[in-house]
Amino acid sequence: MTQNKLAVIAFGGNALLKSNQKGTYAEQIQNVTETCRCLVPMMKAGYRMVIGHGNGPQVGNVMLQHKAGAETYDVAEMPLNFCVAETQGSIGALIEEGFRCIFAEEGWDRDTVTLLTHVEVDPNDPLFQNPTKPVGPYCTKEEAEIYHDETGDIYREDPKGNGWRKVVASPKPIRIQNIKLVRQLADQGIIVITVGGGGIPVANIDGCLRGVQAVIDKDLASAITAVEINADEFYILTDVPKVYINFRKPDEKALNVITVSEAKQYLEEKQFTEGSMAPKMRAAIMFVEKTGHTCIITEAGRLGDPACGTRIVPDKA
């Protein structure tokens, strides 16, 4: 069994789909392959890897497809948890294809596998009453108002100014199903893709795990995965090279290394936007507090730099 480091890497949305793209297969496979290529330095260093990923745009598009099919062809519309399962499989296939392209380029004989992963939440989680997780395509404020009037769905403005998006409940994950299998496969040197889109949301209802209408935060689900498999490092890939305070203000400042206490203070000061950097920072804090290891938040293209990104580290003893 290899003694090399084990890393959990959470792919950000731009690893799959950029804001100016429609989401075609060609666009997504190109984006995914570029992201996978950025992991080559870590693979050459002997890292074992477990990959998590988001699905916000994709699951929203699947929901729209189901809705259109129901309205036009009387095809049964599926619930949100089913849509998450669909995107877990399709995005996992994209990431596997991206890795296999890299393996061929490097002449490596390696394996990668996607695990459709259920993630348990508390059915009484109060977050079910406060939807915050953006899904689906961007729209204008006027379109969002029309959609809200037609469906009752809630829309909120994107903090980066890209438009408005539908938001759904995002309860906290409490248990990752088949987590022992994830660790076993990673220990064999297989790249494991799991908790896709935060996992297929299920809750214990009358003694059975049943699907619920939610999208779980992929960074938090990936952080719990990293804790449960005792990962040495946890990476959250996003579209900025570092985390910033006073973001997009004249006194903007990039953060290189911060302690858990400093991260918590910045959260209290509301330096990080909900739906953007705030959940990433909470996931980082949770991982570091429970393991004593380091979390790195950065762009995929910076992974070859040993000093890349913002590093969240434990408080000094």
Residues with a known catalytic role: 13-14, 133, 218, 280
Rounded-to-integer distance, Cα 283 and Cα 278, Å: 9
Amino acid at 257: V
Q: Is 151 exposed, middle or buried (0-12, 13-18, 19+ CB in 10 A)?
A: exposed
Q: b or e along 59-79 (b: 16 or more beta carbons within 10 Å of the residue's beta carbon)? A: bbbbbeebeeeeeeeeeeebe
Q: Are 224 and 176 in contact (CB under 8 A)?
A: yes
Phi, psi of 303 (to 5 degrees): -65, -20
Q: How would DSSP label each residue in 140-164? A: -HHHHHHHHHHH--EEEE-TTSS-E
Give which of 119, 116, 93, 99 is closest to 43, Cα–Cα.
99
Residue found by looking up tokens 């380091």 in the block: 294
